[in-house]
Structure 1
Amino acid sequence: MAVFDAKPALPPPVATTGAWGWIRRNLLSSPLDIALTATGLLLLAVAIGPFLRWAVFEASFGGTTAEACSTAKGACWTFVRARFDFFIYGFYPAAERWRVDVVFALLATFIAALLWNRVPGRRWVALASVTVYPLLAFWLLLGGGGGLALVETSKWGGLMLTLVLAVVGMVAALPVGILLALGRRSKMIVIRIACTTFIELWRGVPLISVLFMASVMLPLFLPQEVSIDKLLRALIGLIMFQAAYMAEVVRGGLQAIPRGQFEAAQALGLGFWRSMALIILPQALKLVIPGIVNTFIALFKDTTLVLIIGLLDVLGAVQAALVDPSWDRVAVEGYVFAGFCYWIFCFGISRYSQSLERKLQTGHKR
């Protein structure tokens, strides 16, 4: 019997791998794709040139006053540089801004620790991030004890306020939304009607009306001696509004779980809460990660509406700075800076959700 030596497998063709292979598959796979790619490149060439001239080559970066932009033909980034502290901290006292920096640094540390899979004790880190960190951050930002000077929430503003509203809203809206979704599917008619009424009521009004009611109308129904902080009222309204939308997202995930999973949990002798926590909710939340992230991104951008009740987030700080008559032609630069701030955070949330989807993918891709 003849014996044949096995030859090593040949590498794939160069044209099907690497960057060139990706380009051929996604940009040049058909005449229509080639035409669309060429059109897109032409539009980019037409748009990028003038933008780079305005934003970089003919822009003003130095100085701290409007005179530095008098000779510039392009963007006046001097405005952003001169008002950068105000855009980040608002009216927070300059001598106490180190407290905000510490809160930002701790937030970045917790996020990095949760993203890195090799960090020991990640469960404890996650638990500390939702229990210890919020209390510590609140104490540092507000002060009034432990040797820290009191900084009233009326002085909070800029990107700091945006992050406070967004982070607190995200952390609180998800569990409230889960409870509302479970309540809407409850077999007890009283709980089901209450949760359904709550969800439909909050989803039926715009957020701007919710914030206006929380800021202006709510104090009218309280005793004169009772006073609720304006920022707290805005947070409560923001959380309740987003929790109603989150409930519908989670309910969609619960409806996608096969009935057999519920029956299997009952067969194991698990009660309602244990079956939900251990079997049903992990599967449902994994299915609706895109919807949850979309709600989080909408919440992050909706924080701009607090401007109507006198709270200056990063966009409000930009608009307040534009009132200065000495900066009479920098509106575009200010809005570009604010837009970039929102984009960088929303893009980061989106990218993390995609990596989380790939990590939790247990099915077979089609």
Structure 2
Amino acid sequence: MSDVSFVRTEMLPEQAPPASEVGALGWIKHNLFSSWLNSILTIISLYAVYYVLSGILPWTFQSVWNADSLNQCREIMLENWGSTHGHACWAVINDRWLQLLFGFYPSHLYWRPILALILLLVALAPVLYSDRVPTKMLIFSAIYPFLMVWLMWGGTIWGPISAALGFVVGWGVYTIVSKQLSGLFGIILGVLASVIWWLFISSYFTSAMASIIPIGMEAVESRQFGGFMLAVLLGVVAIGVSLPIGIVLALGRQSDLLIVKYLCVGFIEFIRGVPLITLLFVASLLLNLFLPPGTNFDIILRVMIMMTLFSAAYMAEVIRGGLAALPRGQYEGADSLGLNYWQAQRLIIMPQALKISIPGIVSTFIGIFKDTTLVSIIGLFDVIGLASAIRADTAWNGIYWELFAFIAALFFVVCFSMSRYSMYLERKLQTGHR
């Protein structure tokens, strides 16, 4: 008896995979019905989704968009559907959407906050997408904060220019002093020079230049700010300023200088131990008691300062977690290259710590943006405060869900955008193995 081996001399033609293993059917099979438990959970989930959507979709689309009051909305509902239950009255949004967005900002000046928002996106482009946008646009990003203040508040253009010159003076003093003495001493003198400029020289410079070259726009009082515009304004300032302050506080908390360390620790622990609403009450009611008589400290500026400090304390702890996650070898590698403290932080330590901290940083950003709604408690008419004022109107008294659904949609768009950018940035900076 002999074995006859057979070796194939030609390849068989390729065949398509089974339809149940690829495409939509394959995805459903492997992800939704891979086992009996998953199948049961999928069916329960589909029923829950159907139950929710069966109530939300008719309420959303079988609705009234044109009416002058809630009573007129109900009359139209009765005429069309024979019931007022299960139908939305979006007419309140159609009637008051501009007020919900801009508050009491003068209607003939709406172009100014709209332009400020467009320029904000332009200023953020080189920061968020540095690999796709020319780095020269960072010059506009540095100019934008002062331009935004002028667009929103109006008045003479020399006020923002004077504020910007304070940073120029501080940088000039730092550059000169750091060449002669230590960098730390240069930083201290630079900050001191900027403060002296803003407190004692800036007002005289602004008045003199405004009398010589009167360039300005119609001024708008802070009390006229409101709506979603106010939430965006407070959120952008708190987010943009709290990150660098949080970095400084995180580094100060790890400093070997005891005074610096304990000052940073005391500030962080105090701010984190106090509710934000308490700080807002301090900004609104108590802060003026500690200022010289006759001092006019803008209410929105006070709120911005408190929200920024509150966010910076939480940001410091998030960044400190990123610093603690770095292995000791990174610090030793920086020392072996002969880098000083600030060079090591700028080139090696801080970029890695910030990459590790991206989820926590964005979560803090989203949290502080949503916390802007707390300003309604201290008398500022943000979008929540305006919703209450609209419901107090006799024409719309009794309407709830439509206003809050519109407000929720506005906040969701902004917060979801920040979340998606965070995921994009994590994928872009991913260097390790999954």
- Quick check: TM above 0.5? yes
If the length of structure 1 is used for normalisation, what is the TM-score?
Answer: 0.93
1:84 to 97, 113, 120: 97
Q: Does residue 1:180 correspond to 2:249, yes or no?
A: yes
If the length of structure 2 is used for normalisation, what is the TM-score?
Answer: 0.79
Hey, what does 1:54 align to over in structure 2? 59
The alpha carbon displacement at 1:32 in A equals 1.4
The alpha carbon displacement at 1:148 in A equals 1.1
What is the 5 A alignment of 1:117-156? 119-121=132-134, 123-129=135-141, 131-145=142-156, 146-156=215-225
Identity, in percent, stands at: 43
Q: Does residue 1:348 correspond to 2:409, yes or no?
A: no
Q: Find the aligned partners of 2:12 and 2:239 in 1 and give their Cα distance.
A: 57
Q: Find the aligned partners of 2:411 and 2:37 in 1 and give their Cα distance.
A: 35
Q: Find the aligned partners of 2:270 and 2:116 in 1 and give their Cα distance.
A: 35
Hey, what does 1:44 align to over in structure 2? 49
Q: Find the aligned partners of 1:345 and 1:29 in 2 and give their Cα distance.
A: 36
What is the 5 A alignment of 1:10-29? 14-29=19-34
Is the 8 Å Cα contact of residues 64 and 81 (structure 1) preserved in structure 2? no
Hey, what does 1:105 align to over in structure 2? 118
Is the 8 Å Cα contact of residues 268 and 314 (structure 2) preserved in structure 1? yes
The alpha carbon displacement at 1:24 in A equals 2.8
What is the 5 A alignment of 1:195-274? 195-274=264-343
The alpha carbon displacement at 1:347 in A equals 0.8
Hey, what does 1:75 align to over in structure 2? 88
Please give the secondary structure, in 1, of the residue aligned with 2:220: coil
Quickly say closer, same or farther: Cα 1:120–1:202, change in 2 above 3 A: closer
The alpha carbon displacement at 1:330 in A equals 1.6
Q: Find the aligned partners of 1:241 and 1:197 in 2 and give their Cα distance.
A: 13
Q: Does residue 1:34 correspond to 2:34, yes or no?
A: no
Please give the secondary structure, in 1, of the residue aligned with 2:110: helix
Is the 8 Å Cα contact of residues 158 and 313 (structure 1) preserved in structure 2? yes
Is the 8 Å Cα contact of residues 362 and 418 (structure 2) preserved in structure 1? yes
Is the 8 Å Cα contact of residues 88 and 158 (structure 1) preserved in structure 2? yes
Deviations 1:265-300 (A, max 9, x none): 011111111100110111011011110010001001
Is the 8 Å Cα contact of residues 65 and 82 (structure 1) preserved in structure 2? no
Q: Does residue 1:330 correspond to 2:334, yes or no?
A: no
The alpha carbon displacement at 1:230 in A equals 0.5
Please give the secondary structure, in 1, of the residue aligned with 2:217: coil
Please give the secondary structure, in 1, of the residue aligned with 2:294: coil
Quickly say closer, same or farther: Cα 1:118–1:251, change in 2 above 3 A: closer
Please give the secondary structure, in 1, of the residue aligned with 2:145: helix
Q: Does residue 1:277 correspond to 2:288, yes or no?
A: no
The alpha carbon displacement at 1:153 in A equals 1.1
Q: Find the aligned partners of 1:333 and 1:154 in 2 and give their Cα distance.
A: 26
Stretches of structure 1 lacking an aligned partner (at least 5 in a row): none
Quickly say closer, same or farther: Cα 1:112–1:277, change in 2 above 3 A: closer
Hey, what does 2:173 align to over in structure 1? none
Please give the secondary structure, in 2, of the residue aligned with 1:322: helix
The alpha carbon displacement at 1:11 in A equals 6.6
What is the 5 A alignment of 1:354-365? 354-365=423-434
The alpha carbon displacement at 1:133 in A equals 1.4
2:362 to 268, 293, 305: 293
Q: Find the aligned partners of 2:131 and 2:332 in 1 and give their Cα distance.
A: 36
The alpha carbon displacement at 1:25 in A equals 3.1
The alpha carbon displacement at 1:323 in A equals 1.1
The alpha carbon displacement at 1:263 in A equals 0.5
Hey, what does 1:95 align to over in structure 2? 108
Please give the secondary structure, in 2, of the residue aligned with 1:83: helix
The alpha carbon displacement at 1:23 in A equals 2.6
Is the 8 Å Cα contact of residues 60 and 68 (structure 1) preserved in structure 2? no
The alpha carbon displacement at 1:108 in A equals 3.2
Comparing 21-30 with 266-275, greater Cα deviation is found at 21-30
Quickly say closer, same or farther: Cα 1:53–1:216, change in 2 above 3 A: same
Stretches of structure 2 lacking an aligned partner (at least 5 in a row): 1-6, 78-83, 157-214
Q: Find the aligned partners of 2:431 and 2:69 in 1 and give their Cα distance.
A: 57
Q: Find the aligned partners of 1:115 and 1:276 in 2 and give their Cα distance.
A: 21
Quickly say closer, same or farther: Cα 1:250–1:113, change in 2 above 3 A: closer
Deviations 1:155-176 (A, max 9, x none): 1111110000001100001110
Quickly say closer, same or farther: Cα 1:199–1:306, change in 2 above 3 A: same
One-letter amino acid matched to 1:86? Q
Quickly say closer, same or farther: Cα 1:216–1:273, change in 2 above 3 A: same
Comparing 203-212 with 222-231, greater Cα deviation is found at 222-231
Is the 8 Å Cα contact of residues 126 and 133 (structure 2) preserved in structure 1? no
Deviations 1:75-122 (A, max 9, x none): 11000110011001100001111111111222234445666677441x
Is the 8 Å Cα contact of residues 125 and 133 (structure 2) preserved in structure 1? no
Aligned residues: 361
Quickly say closer, same or farther: Cα 1:101–1:304, change in 2 above 3 A: same
Is the 8 Å Cα contact of residues 62 and 68 (structure 1) preserved in structure 2? no
Q: Find the aligned partners of 1:198 and 1:10 in 2 and give their Cα distance.
A: 68
Quickly say closer, same or farther: Cα 1:194–1:160, change in 2 above 3 A: same
Q: Does residue 1:311 correspond to 2:380, yes or no?
A: yes
Q: Find the aligned partners of 2:349 and 2:100 in 1 and give their Cα distance.
A: 44
One-letter amino acid matched to 1:36? L
Quickly say closer, same or farther: Cα 1:66–1:36, change in 2 above 3 A: same
Quickly say closer, same or farther: Cα 1:115–1:225, change in 2 above 3 A: closer
